[in-house]
Amino acid sequence: MTKQSRRRRHLRKKHANAGRKTILNLPAEIRLEIYGHCSALSVLVLSNTCRTFQSEILSHPSIYKAARNYVPFFDPNLGFGKFTMGNVCKAADRSEYLLVLRMIGVNYADKYYAPPKTLPSYGCCQKCFEIVQFGDLIPRYNPKRTVEVGERYRLVCGACCYFRRRDV
């Protein structure tokens, strides 16, 4: 493939995407207002999506500090001022819980749990959606669930493990 044909193909793609409406087409002030209505986990995911989002969010710390479920967190390696998974205390709902599962790459449906070796070892309680260190989650057998329906084992935090309810 010649340099000229590659250039033509790049220009065709560029013109095909020119009419698309995305959030990046909105003014920065409106995007900042949108970020202000997101939870801490959503803002964290947005800041890791593209450079524009990252620069806008990290240059305005009041956005993530005012987000739902944000907690100040000191990481000895990073210090204060960095926005990481340690700053998120809880997933807002089930959709964010599923997002945490995809982010950390752990299959909770497995019988044996092993934290990922390369990612930070965070996990999410399947009952209260609390985000904790992976080692603080306790596998709990749930005989009511079948393998076809979902997980037979649940990973729950210490608080949910010791407060037994009927739905456990």
User: For residue 98, is it within any domain?
Assistant: no
On whether residue 119 sits in a domain, the answer given is: yes
Nearest CA-CA partner of 89 in 41, 47, 138: 41
Per-residue pLDDT of the chain (168 residues; tens, 9 = 90+): 677 777 777 667 666 556 678 888 899 999 999 999 999 999 999 998 889 999 999 999 899 999 999 988 766 665 666 788 888 889 988 888 888 877 776 555 554 555 555 544 678 888 888 888 777 777 776 666 544 434 556 778 878 776 555 444
Does any domain span residue 97? no
As for how many domains the chain has, the answer is 2
For residue 152, count CB atoms less than 10 angstroms from its CB and return exposed for 0-12, middle for 13-18, buried for 19 or more.
middle
Does 69 share its domain with 9?
yes
> What residues form DSSP beta bridges with 75?
79
What residue numbers bound the domain in which 135 lies?
Answer: 108-162
18 with 66, same domain: the answer is: yes
Rounded to two decimals, the pTM is 0.69
